[in-house]
Amino acid sequence: MTLLITGATGFVMSVIARHWLDRDPAARAVILDQSPLDEAASRYFAPVEGRLAIVTADLTRPGWEAELEKHRVTRIVHGATMTPLSRGTAAEARRDPEAEEPARIMEVNLMGTVRLLDWARRQAGLERFIYVSSGAVYRNHGPDWPDEPLPEDGYVMPLRLYGISKFASELVLNRYAELFRLSAASVRLPSVYGPMDRVTASRNFRHIPNKVAHLALAGRPIRVNTLDSVGDYLHSGDAAEAIARLLLAPQLNHRVYNIASGVATTTRELVEYAAEMIPGTKAEIVAPEEADILQDPAWRDGMWGAYEISRITAETGWRPRPVREALHDYIQWIKANE
């Protein structure tokens, strides 16, 4: 089985690629990315480099198709994307990265998907296509009842170009699947953290578990404007296993799946979990302009709250690890690898 993974020199997609190869000693993978492997990625893939091919190319430009034809791809995970998010402090929040290259965001995130789908529909041996979408497609608020997890159906209203491009790509995927009888689905991820989370050319945003872990390991107080903010935080290794199960499932019963922790975790809980691994870890409440982590405590539902995960659990048996256990695992990985 040969898996094509786009965007896998970066964060989440690199973990999916490595997980796929670790899961099956006979499996192979091809990475298509416009960026070559950096030092961190080269170290990460070293144990499996004999079963991994790298194609350095831009999906939005012709020329990569012939190179992929050599590999007899049977499955695809498409995650190549631009993630234009501010980095979470008051100073950074004043700058909106979407204003810098709006047309390029749509070209990469939407037209890159279209071009890959157009290639995929011509591959006779292709068995499955998974598109990596985002919780950014959801509204800021919902569902209607307090503390009810956010389901896949409804509550979709992206307001930023990133979410708009992701939702548009989901719709294009659905239409290609109908027209060309592709076995395909989109997966919506929440706030993901974990191994290989680092600044890259296409992404410089780090979610709160990443910041908490690194500040705690550095022995610094975790300066926040509130400890009551929440998020659905998912370890990248758990995301990789969920996607692997969808790639290998006999059939897909839905076109969209949430892949998430399924619970809303507060910043206070993340700090407490870190303190269990790193004694002395503490948070300080400071003014917004002084905070390392700036959050709005009013954002507790919609895309910011817990995501419903019963679809993927019912179909594949997948369940994420508890957030506490997953964060401890990440802290151990940082100690060993960074």
Lowest mean pLDDT among 6-15, 18-27, 76-85: 76-85
In a domain, 117, yes or no: yes
Report residue 116 as tokens. Answer: 């890959």
Predicted confidence band of residue 142 (pLDDT cuts 50, 70, 90): very high
In a domain, 226, yes or no: no
pLDDT tens digit string along 92-108? 556 788 998 999 999 99
What pLDDT, on a 0 to 100 scale, did the predictor assign at position 92?
A: 58
Average pLDDT, the chain: 94
In a domain, 200, yes or no: no
- The Cβ-side half-sphere exposure at 165, using a 13 Å CA radius, reads 24
What pLDDT, on a 0 to 100 scale, did the predictor assign at position 86?
A: 57
What pLDDT, on a 0 to 100 scale, did the predictor assign at position 97?
A: 84
Rounded CA separation 142/120 (Å): 35
User: Using CB atoms within 10 A of its CB, is residue 53 exposed (0-12), middle (13-18) or buried (19+)?
Assistant: middle
Pairing of strands 265-266, 230-231: antiparallel
What pLDDT, on a 0 to 100 scale, did the predictor assign at position 103?
A: 96
In a domain, 125, yes or no: yes
Strand ranges, E, within the chain: 2-6, 28-33, 52-56, 75-78, 128-134, 184-189, 191-193, 222-224, 230-231, 233-235, 256-258, 265-266, 283-285
What pLDDT, on a 0 to 100 scale, did the predictor assign at position 81?
A: 93
Q: What is the mean pLDDT of residues 157-164?
A: 95
What pLDDT, on a 0 to 100 scale, did the predictor assign at position 146?
A: 81
Strand ranges, E, within 282-325: 283-285
pLDDT tens digit string along 275-294? 999 999 999 999 999 999 99
pLDDT tens digit string along 144-154? 888 899 999 99
Q: What is the mean pLDDT of residues 116-137?
A: 97
Rg (CA), the chain: 19
In a domain, 287, yes or no: no
Look at the chain and count its residues. Answer: 338
Cβ neighbours for 181, distance < 8 A, ≥ 6 positions apart: none
- Flag whether pLDDT at 270 surpasses 70: yes
**pTM score, whole prediction:** 0.95
Neighbours of 287 (CB within 10 A): 9
Q: What is the mean pLDDT of residues 49-75?
A: 96
Number of domains, the chain: 1
Q: What is the mean pLDDT of residues 21-39?
A: 96
In a domain, 199, yes or no: no
- What sign does the dihedral 308-238-182-131 (CA atoms) show? positive
Q: What is the mean pLDDT of residues 169-198?
A: 97
Rounded CA separation 266/208 (Å): 10
In a domain, 15, yes or no: yes
Return the CATH number at 118. Answer: 3.40.50.720
Which domain range does residue 166 map to? 2-193+235-262+306-321
In a domain, 273, yes or no: no
